């Protein structure tokens, strides 16, 4: 006896379901290919605790690195309100408290699931180097306070320490060459080492120190001035030196102290670097608290000092030169204070206070040296009342731009030995490639070499056409099964 019509339909639907289901399974198993999804993004936080202020930077990079170094980009820059942490010597806990607002902003940006694996570092620069010389216990208390704050936060705290001047210069060099694409560039779908690259030098002028870093044309004859490192599979060797007490703020303090000592019998100073008509009464005590200032017994530090500006750039330059020791250099491979330096070579980027001073003076467009000199001198000779009227709202630093501008010229031309021919090689910049220029990015690039890379996640996937066919057969299988069930349940027997 043959199958009934109901039974024939039921068997047919089951056959279709089985065939389409088998086809779908084959498509999934046989046509699937291995694909690698990108690894997760890593984040890092660096605090730049400078002499005059502290900044926080958040960086990110793909976890699968390029030749053991991360491809890092900046995602946040946050300037912390208040002075540098070295100013909290009398109340160290406030140094730690000051970091919290920017830290909260950083944690809001980084996914919560990655907070505990986000390396966080605080590097203190020349302001804390000076405080450590003056009072090492106060410096330790401040570092302990900021460490306590950061260790309580949900991050991977790597420490808070005073950065060596040589490291500050080297990391600044890494930063500027990285953001300019000199260390790595993207070409034809991959990251490669640039072939025709011109490595640039770095000039950094902070509040308490200044750094020069570059690759000289010849060998580096003094090994203590040489720093070597490896990035993206390539080795680098640069000259770098940091001059403590030659930062902008400390030079202004030293200059005032020098003028006061020359007229120690009078509580009044004629200041050639302040504009004619400027007058102020200052306390001597804060001036002589700086380790950069060498005191004399004849001065009464408790007295006030009346400072009158004369607006004389020639005398100002002469006073600034007295802060250098040029006579200690006996050969051409020497900068000042007896410090070895090979001749400057190549292009240079000048940032920090180099940029801020020349930006104010409208001198960041690579003007010729004679134009720069004329501009600074004319500004110095401008009466104070006219300067005040021309720059409202900028009173805090206004009196110091003349001295800063002339100091930069003395430092670059007579200190670092730039000339009229090499002056055009200097660019004054705050940012490059959308990122701030400073030591923090270079530090983070170097740090990525110590953080293990993560392999991309392996998955099995189909092409779009195979995936579409699989969906069609899946739907056909489901319809056939539902149809077979419906036949069995609702079709009455013949």
Is the Cβ–Cβ distance between 260 and 284 less than 8 Å? yes
Structure token digits, residue 268: 């009044």
Distances (CA, A) of 186 to 71, 395, 446: 10, 45, 20
Q: Which residues contact 465 (CB under 8 A, 6 or more apart)?
A: none
Distances (CA, A) of 463 to 21, 27, 32, 323, 467: 19, 11, 8, 71, 6
Query: Catalytic site residues?
Result: 168
Residue 413 is classified by DSSP as: I
> How far is 46 from 121, CA to CA, in rounded Å?
5
C-alpha angle 174-180-185 in degrees, rounded to nearest 5: 95
> How far is 185 from 174, CA to CA, in rounded Å?
14
Distances (CA, A) of 125 to 162, 219, 256, 425: 6, 29, 23, 27
Q: Are strands 348-352 and 426-428 parallel, antiparallel or unpaired?
A: parallel
> What radius of gyration, in Å, describes the C-alpha atoms of the chain?
33
Nearest residue to 152 via CA among 109, 110, 107: 107
Q: Which residues contact 400 (CB under 8 A, 6 or more apart)?
A: 252
Residue 303 is classified by DSSP as: S
């Amino acid at each position: 006896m043959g199958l009934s019509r109901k039974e024939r339909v039921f068997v047919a639907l089951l056959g279709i379901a089985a065939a389409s289901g088998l086809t779908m399974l084959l498509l999934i198993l046989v046509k699937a290919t291995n694909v690698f999804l990108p690894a997760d993004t890593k984040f890092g936080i660096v605090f730049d605790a400078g002499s005059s202020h502290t900044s926080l930077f958040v960086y990110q990079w793909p976890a699968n690195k390029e030749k053991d170094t991360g491809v890092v980009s900046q995602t946040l820059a946050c300037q912390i309100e208040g002075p540098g942490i070295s100013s909290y010597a009398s109340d160290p806990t406030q140094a730690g408290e000051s970091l919290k607002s920017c830290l909260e902003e950083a944690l809001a940006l980084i996914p919560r699931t990655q907070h505990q694996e986000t390396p966080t570092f605080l590097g203190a620069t020349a302001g804390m180097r000076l405080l450590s010389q003056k009072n090492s216990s106060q410096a330790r208390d401040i570092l302990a306070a900021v460490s306590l704050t950061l260790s309580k936060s949900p991050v991977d705290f790597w420490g808070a320490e005073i950065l060596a001047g040589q490291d500050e210069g080297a990391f600044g060099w890494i930063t500027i060459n990285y953001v300019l694409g000199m260390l790595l560039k993207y070409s034809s779908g991959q990251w490669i080492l640039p072939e025709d690259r011109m490595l640039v030098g770095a000039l950094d002028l902070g509040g308490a120190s200044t750094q020069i870093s570059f690759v000289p044309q010849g060998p580096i004859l003094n090994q203590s001035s040489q720093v070597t490192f490896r990035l993206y599979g390539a080795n680098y060797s640069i000259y770098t030196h940091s001059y403590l007490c030659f930062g902008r703020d400390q030079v202004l303090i030293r200059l005032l102290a020098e003028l006061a000592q020359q007229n120690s019998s009078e509580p009044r100073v004629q200041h050639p670097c302040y504009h004619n008509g400027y007058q102020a009464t200052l306390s001597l005590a804060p001036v002589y608290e700086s380790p950069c200032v060498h005191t004399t017994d004849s001065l009464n530090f408790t007295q006030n000092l009346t400072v009158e500006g004369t607006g004389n750039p020639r005398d100002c330059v002469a006073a600034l030169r007295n802060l250098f020791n040029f006579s200690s250099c006996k050969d051409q491979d020497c900068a000042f204070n007896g410090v070895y330096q090979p001749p400057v070579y190549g292009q240079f980027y000048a940032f920090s206070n180099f940029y801020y001073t020349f930006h104010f003076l409208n001198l960041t467009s690579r003007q010729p040296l004679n134009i720069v000199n004329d501009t600074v001198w004319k500004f110095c000779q401008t009466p104070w009342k006219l300067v005040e009227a021309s720059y409202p709202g900028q009173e805090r630093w206004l009196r110091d731009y003349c001295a800063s501008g002339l100091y930069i010229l003395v430092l670059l031309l007579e200190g670092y030995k730039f000339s009229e021919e090499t002056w055009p090689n200097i660019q004054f910049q705050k940012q490059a490639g959308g990122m701030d220029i400073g030591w923090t990015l270079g530090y983070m690039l170097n740090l990525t070499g110590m953080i293990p890379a993560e392999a991309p996640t392996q998955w099995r996937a189909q092409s779009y056409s195979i995936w579409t066919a699989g969906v069609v057969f899946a739907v056909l299988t489901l319809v056939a099964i539902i149809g077979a069930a419906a036949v069995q349940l609702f079709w009455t027997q013949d």
